[in-house]
């Protein structure tokens, strides 16, 4: 079974703090994604990566950065957390092989910024 | 532009059949996915359609009409454990990104 793990299930930070969210997958997938999920808005793509050290902006990259130094690990960084970044953050991974290939999601990190 | 629409909430009775609709307007199309997400958990893959028609998988079926930009997920013989959010996602023709709809929260009542 594919396993995608995220470093924390719940996180509480203060405005202005630097926040790191870590994601690790064990299936040697090329592609990794960071989404945020908010009620009524669904999943919105923040950043994705299709290879080590490669990154692409998604739909809402402002206020975020990412790092992919190893194939299995994709980190999301909030340089200076703000209250509007309070959300559920979901990491996903997938392959590039076929159009039928799905994405596999981690359990999510619920981040609260006070 | 890309837009995917789903009803926000639905309620159904245990043992019944429910149909969750998804309409999409996207610049290109390379497949439509349905995911199930229980509260506090990760979305999990349910089904995939790329050609018009019905795909059946046990109690769950998914239908696609590309000309109408329309899909539905059909759940039969509803069980209490089917209470969850159901996410519709479209894969554009290039790249591996998905565009997700807002999700439909289904409540199954006894």
Mean pLDDT value across residues B50-64:
94
- Which candidate, A94, A101, A92, places its Cα nearest to that of A74? A92
A61 close contact with B: CB closer than 8 A: no
The span from the CA of B109 to the CA of A75, in Å, is 40
Question: What's the confidence (pLDDT) of residue B78?
Answer: 97
Q: Which two tokens stand for residue A64?
A: 């975020």
> Mind listing the pLDDT tens digit for each residue in A72-108?
999 999 999 999 999 999 999 988 767 677 889 999 9
Phi and psi based region of residue A26 (left: phi greater than 0; alpha: psi -120 to 50; beta: remaining): alpha
Read off the pLDDT of residues B22-31 as tens digits, 9 standing for 90 and up: 999 977 788 9
Q: Cβ of B44 and A107 within 8 Å? A: no
Interchain contact B30–A (C-beta under 8 A): yes
Residue B76 has pLDDT above 90, yes or no: yes
- Residue A8 has phi, psi (to 5 degrees) of -140, 145
Using pLDDT thresholds of 50, 70 and 90, give the confidence band for residue B98.
confident
Greatest Cα pair distance in chain A = 42
CB contact under 8 A, A105 and B44: yes
- Structure token pair of residue A33: 């994604």
* Number of neighbouring beta carbons within 10 Å of residue A89: 24
Assign A84 to helix, strand or coil. helix
Separation between Cα atoms, residue A107 and residue B42, nearest integer Å = 5
A54 in B contact zone (CB under 8 Å): no
Confidence of residue A2 (pLDDT cuts 50, 70, 90): low
Mean pLDDT of chain A: 92
What pLDDT score does B26 carry?
79
**B22, B6 Cβ separation under 8 angstroms:** yes
| CA A33 to chain CA centroid, nearest Å | 5
Q: Which residues of B touch A100 (CB under 8 A)?
A: 31, 48, 50
Q: How large is the average pLDDT for residues B17-38?
A: 92
Please tell me the predicted confidence (pLDDT) of residue B2.
73
CA distances from A102 to A61, A67, B31, B76, B96 (A): 23, 23, 10, 23, 9
Q: What percent of chain A has pLDDT over 90?
A: 79
Q: Do residues B60 and B72 make contact, with C-beta atoms less than 8 angstroms apart?
A: no
Q: Least CB-CB distance to B98: which of A103, A104, A108?
A: A103
Q: Given B33, B42, B101, which is nearest A102 (Cβ)?
A: B33
β-partners of residue B11 are B107
Residue in this structure with the two tokens 């309620």, named with its chain if needed: B11
CB contact under 8 A, A40 and B8: yes
Asked if B33 reaches chain A (Cβ–Cβ under 8 Å), the answer is: yes
Return the closest-CA partner of residue A49 out of A28, A32, A72, A66.
Answer: A32
């Amino acid at each position: 079974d594919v396993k995608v793990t995220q470093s924390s299930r719940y996180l509480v930070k203060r405005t202005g703090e630097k926040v790191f969210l870590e994601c690790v997958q064990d299936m040697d997938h090329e592609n990794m994604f960071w989404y945020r999920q908010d009620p009524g808005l669904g999943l919105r793509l923040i950043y994705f990566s299709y290879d080590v050290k490669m990154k692409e902006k998604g739909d809402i990259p402002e206020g975020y950065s990412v790092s992919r130094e190893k194939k299995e690990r994709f980190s999301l960084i909030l340089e200076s957390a703000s209250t509007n970044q309070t959300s559920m953050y979901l990491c996903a991974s997938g392959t590039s092989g076929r159009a039928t290939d799905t994405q596999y999601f981690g359990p999510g990190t619920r981040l609260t910024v006070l | 532009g890309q837009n995917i629409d789903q009803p926000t909430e639905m309620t159904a009775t245990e043992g019944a059949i429910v149909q969750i609709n998804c309409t999409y307007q996207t610049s290109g199309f390379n497949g439509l996915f349905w995911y199930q997400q229980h509260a506090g958990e990760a979305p999990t893959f349910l089904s995939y359609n790329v050609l018009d028609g019905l795909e059946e998988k046990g109690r769950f079926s998914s239908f696609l009409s590309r000309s109408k930009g329309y899909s539905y997920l059909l759940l039969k013989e509803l069980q209490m454990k089917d209470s969850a959010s159901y996410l519709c996602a479209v894969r554009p023709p290039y790249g591996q990104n998905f565009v997700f709809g807002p999700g439909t929260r289904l409540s199954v009542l006894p």
